[in-house]
Amino acid sequence: MEASIPEAVPGRWELGLEAPARARGLWRRRVAAAVLLLSVTVILIDAVVVEPSWIETVRSIEYVAALPARAPDLTLVHISDLHIVQIGLRERRAIALINEARPDLIMVSGDLTREGSAPGAIETFFGALNARYGTYAVWGNHDYWDKAAITWGPETLKRSGVTLLRNSSTRLPWSGGRVVIAGVDDPVTGRDNLREAMRGVPRQDVCILLSHSPEIAPSLGNWDIDIMLAGHTHGGQVRLPLLGAIIVPPGTRDFVEGWFSLQGGARLHVSQGLGWSYLPIRFFCRPRIDVITLRGGRPPGLHVTRSILGRT
């Protein structure tokens, strides 16, 4: 009968090596968990506390060939997607930044309100803005979904000195050239009528078109529109490094934010917006005020259409 061979029992030196290895593994896992928790905390603080009220101002020059080269610069502020509920830190800061820019006109491309908005806050905000030739606005989808556009909204804007454009146009009282501001009603809810908005607009006049959504940009046809201003996308609201905007509204993927050249020669500017949709979150996508200087004549150099002056 063969003698059984006893199982090997780890020596003391083997046990001595195994224990520190387990400890090091446990320590690494704890450090990784702590780093992950810290990273998530920092991201949440930035997205929820810091960025939603951290407004940036972006300045640019846009050359308009239809304006005389000798004409004085025309400075406009473009804002969109304000979603004002009350006058808080973000709203007070926005008012100060807009007025500091000393604009000739202020252009608002829709979504002034959201659920919970009240006439008093809207009137206070727009009543505090100063522009030489006034403030012009169109409605957005939230203005209709939240009923402001069909109840108290029009009268509130009128009291605030805002010119509301609903498939209509108006001539700017500017001595530098013939400029018309046209505005289509909200395209998202199917209320836009470009033909009606452009009715009676002379082709030789410079035309600035306001639209809440940029989705109509490919359908401008042969209308003589020089500048189109839109919003609706919020710049994506949440953007990831390398990937960019994760979610954007239907029909706007090609026009998330910034400047675009359209077929026919028109230039489109899409605002990153001041507010937020659904959740008070912004990440790598700060609220923005655009200060745009329209300059007569053609740009210096080939293929140069604008020059960034800076952002704050």
User: Which amino acid, residue 41?
Assistant: T
Chain segment 279-302, per-residue pLDDT in tens: 888 888 899 999 999 999 988 874
* pLDDT at residue number 54: 84
Single pTM value for the model: 0.84
What ranges do the domains of the chain cover? 13-53, 56-311
pLDDT of residue 281: 86
Class of domain 56-311: alpha beta
Task: Identify the pLDDT of residue 23.
Answer: 67
Q: Cα–Cα distance between 104 and 140 in angstroms, integer?
A: 23
Regions of the chain short of the pLDDT cut 50: 1, 13, 39-40, 42, 302-309
- For residue range 225-273, what is the model confidence (pLDDT) as tens digits? 999 999 999 999 988 888 888 889 999 999 999 999 998 889 999 999 9
pLDDT of 49: 54
**305 vs 266: CA distance, rounded Å:** 12
pLDDT for 308 equals 41
